Structure 1
């Protein structure tokens, strides 16, 4: 348990270092934090793919940086041994974003970027275990022939900030881990 907490804190520290490097335009730190084969997934309007534009644009001069979207995290939360969620607003809450980072061996290996999207993260690993157990019981003749899956709020590990702060509606997604 203590090792997991330490790993979560270390991973959160890696993500915090990324946003500090972005704020300072520190490309050398960025290159040490990011895996060379970073996997990226985006949900939102195509013209809002801000993080990937910043991370893949090569050498930046100060004029380029100042004209780009500024990522100012409002919350950074480690949700398990590998994943860290970062949430933020731009301007007068006109743009809302969520980044779900996967950290392995101190490097950022995956980014799931959600822009103007309400996100709920659910851990379905325990649901999978329960289904597997029921299937084994059925195959062994011990089950009743049916599989029931019970999703509850107990599976929710993270949810976007309260909808009351929004000035308009946004699509919602569930990220299953």
Structure 2
């Protein structure tokens, strides 16, 4: 009888150790998977940023072939600002002499890459919000003489949309050069 108790006790201890090891292994897997996802996201953001920087290099050197390889043929273009300041569209279509876009700041948030610059001589600040998919730019939003705040929308919880509140929409980026235009400018929020 004592022997059976020892075996049962040993089995219970062994089971709890195996159970703990199983949980520990699951925790390690979750941590490793999360770290892999973060590394993959950071790598993806870096690649997206590189695509946008290559586009600016191609625009600066007037390398039309590189520009065409970087942009999808059906580029989705949005503009906010004074109509005469649609510099990017005019540059891409060759309607007017190219505007010199020299980004002072370029940051990535997933598939969205934000580039900001300012031409002090013409009192124009600009922001481009690029969307990159599979190494190609599919959308651009051009903002001219506009203050922009980028926010991240709350996530979906248990299959339902999370209630959107200020705490779920943190500001992840704010334009810094819109004040250099020398005048008051409108402010917009871009939700990603």
TM-score (norm 1): 0.78
Q: 1:130 to 1:48 in 2, by over 3 A?
A: farther
- 1:132 aligned residue: 160
Unaligned residue ranges in structure 2 (runs of 5+)? 1-37
Task: Please state how far the C-alpha of 1:129 moved relative to its aligned partner.
Answer: 4.3
- 2:187 aligned residue: 172
Asked whether 1:156 is paired with 2:171, we answer yes
Distance (Å, rounded) in 2 between the aligned partners of 1:133 and 1:41: 27
Which structure has the larger Rg?
2
- For the residue of structure 2 that corresponds to 1:36, the secondary structure is strand
Q: How many residues align?
A: 155
Q: 1:149 to 1:79 in 2, by over 3 A?
A: closer
Unaligned residue ranges in structure 1 (runs of 5+)? 59-63, 135-147
- 2:77 aligned residue: 40
**Which structure: greater helix fraction?**
2
Q: 1:12 aligns with which of 41, 49, 52?
A: 49
Task: Please state how far the C-alpha of 1:152 moved relative to its aligned partner.
Answer: 3.9
Q: Relative CO higher for 1 or 2, CA cutoff 8 Å, sep ≥ 6? A: 1
- 1:20-59 map, 5 Å: 20-57=57-94
Could you list the structure 1 runs, at least 4 aligned residues long, displaced by more than 3 angstroms after superposition. 128-134, 162-166
- Superposed CA RMSD: 2.4
- 1:72 aligned residue: 102
Distance (Å, rounded) in 2 between the aligned partners of 1:13 and 1:78: 10
Asked whether 1:91 is paired with 2:106, we answer no
| Cα-to-partner distance string for 1:111-148 (whole Å, 9 max, x where unaligned) | 0000000000111133x6499367xxxxxxxxxxxxx6
